[in-house]
Structure 1
Amino acid sequence: MSAAQSIYQRRYTVEEYFTLEEQTGIRHEFFQGEVFPLDGPEGMAGGTKQHNRLIQNCTFGLRAGIGERGCEIYTENVRLALAAGEHYNYPDVVVSCDPQDDDPRTVHSPVVIMEVLSRSTEARDRGWKFEQCQLIPSLQQYVLVSQYRVLVDSFVRTDHGTWELTSLRKLTDVLLLPTLQSQLPLAEIYRGINIPPLRLAD
């Protein structure tokens, strides 16, 4: 077993997890004492240029939409506390509007989370990760963006605590962001993205 592999064979306290990330410079998911690398040879392969461009498009579009509303937008290198002390991860895009959410490394009160899907992460983003995000009291919207076809799935928390799904499939569609009092056209999300024609097999 290599030294790198042995790092992930033990359980960590939250403080040890934070120290591990500072020492290695590698992003990890932390869940109840276990750590899972998100970068490097022990983690997932690097994202594609298309994946990165979609994150940038979402970020720029959100920033233009919210203006001076006092919300902050962070991308994939800022940690999210799904459950403080128990579960931390790194969303592609996260928005916080809480002025007291001032931790320099971690977002604690997200209102919107956006994930750009890849073939290796889609099932998890739609399943277990979404289930975990639903437990965040402040979260109002969870958005999934496909990089292989024009498809944006938006889940919005209702007044009854359930989640309402809206699927957008055309470049002329507009993603509504009610909590931010804003909207984001799909044409902006997919600007500069090469989407192949949809085939029956897809």
Structure 2
Amino acid sequence: MIANSSANYLSPEDYLKGEENSPIKHEYIDGNIYAMAGASDAHVTIAGNLFALLRSHVRGTGCRVYMADMKARIESKNTYYYPDVMATCDERDRELDSFKRYPRLIVEVLSEKTEAFDRGDKFADYREIETLTEYVLINQKRQRVDCFRRNSEGLWVLYSYDENSREVHLASVDFTLSMESVYEDVELRPENPASDNQG
């Protein structure tokens, strides 16, 4: 996902202006921009499946679902990310055209290159969003979905689903969907156990 960065500080205003006409997307982290690499067939299919299911589920509720091309703004971190899927139910987001500040749900489809960042620094940044109540990570090599939910005490609790789970529950939007529907048309490519033991 992150391919390269710029050496010079860029203001958020200049970043947003540049993104309007850029042929490739960039994420913005406190003055630096990072070009986003292309995604795999499985990555795009999983994100598309989830977007379609969520879009149908929230229709008529006032919530909106976005896929890939809509930025999430993290004000306290001076950062913009492009989540794979994002849902917002906050009326204030309707006034924002090129990014959203008040998402309730954010989903990232993992890849080997991005998994550590998505689970680490990116999740730490997303936790700064006060309206976010659920952060979902979806594995594209095997059936595994990790849902991190913010509880009433403000702590993030992991709910994990795998190939033995028939359904996945997204509490933030009160939606239960089948694991099969998440991975519909996805050709799973199991990781090589031998390579997992190296380094």
Length-normalised TM-score, structure 2: 0.88
Residue pair 1:95, 1:111 contacting (<8 A) in 2 also: yes
Report the Cα offset of residue 200 of structure 1: 5.1
Task: For residues 60-98 of structure 1, give each alpha carbon's deviation from its aligned partner in whole angstroms, at most 9, with x where no partner exists.
Answer: 111232232111000111111022681111010000001
1:41 matched to which residue of 2? none
1:108 to 93, 101, 106: 101
Counterpart Cα distance in 2 of 1:139 and 1:126: 16
Task: Give the letter for the 2:19 counterpart.
Answer: E
Displacement over 3 Å in runs of 4+: 196-202
1:130 to 119, 123, 128: 123
2:144 matched to which residue of 1? 151
Asked if 1:65 corresponds to 2:63, the answer is: no
1:195 matched to which residue of 2? 188
Report the Cα offset of residue 171 of structure 1: 6.0
Name the SS for the 1:59 alignment partner. helix
Counterpart Cα distance in 2 of 1:15 and 1:197: 43
Residue pair 1:157, 1:164 contacting (<8 A) in 2 also: yes
2:89 matched to which residue of 1? 97
How many residues of Structure 1 are paired with residues of Structure 2 in the alignment?
191
Counterpart Cα distance in 2 of 1:197 and 1:14: 40
Report the Cα offset of residue 8 of structure 1: 1.9
1:21 to 19, 22, 38: 19
Residue pair 2:106, 2:136 contacting (<8 A) in 1 also: yes
Counterpart Cα distance in 1 of 2:105 and 2:18: 28
1:81 matched to which residue of 2? 73
Gaps of 5+ in 1: 39-43
Report the Cα offset of residue 32 of structure 1: 1.5
Counterpart Cα distance in 2 of 1:47 and 1:140: 26
Task: Give the letter for the 1:82 counterpart.
Answer: I
Task: Give the letter for the 1:121 counterpart.
Answer: T
Asked if 1:49 corresponds to 2:41, the answer is: yes
Name the SS for the 2:46 alignment partner. helix
2:9 matched to which residue of 1? 11
Task: Give the letter for the 2:140 counterpart.
Answer: Q
2:29 matched to which residue of 1? 31
Task: For residues 142-174 of structure 1, give each alpha carbon's deviation from its aligned partner in whole angstroms, at most 9, with x where no partner exists.
Answer: 000000001000000000000110110126432
Residue pair 1:14, 1:85 contacting (<8 A) in 2 also: no
Residue pair 1:141, 1:155 contacting (<8 A) in 2 also: yes
Task: Give the letter for the 2:103 counterpart.
Answer: P
Gaps of 5+ in 2: none
Name the SS for the 1:68 alignment partner. coil
User: Which has the larger displacement, 189-198 or 131-140?
Assistant: 189-198
Inter-CA distance 92–197: structure 2 relative to 1 (3 Å threshold): closer
Report the Cα offset of residue 199 of structure 1: 6.6
The sequence identity of aligned pairs, in percent, is 31
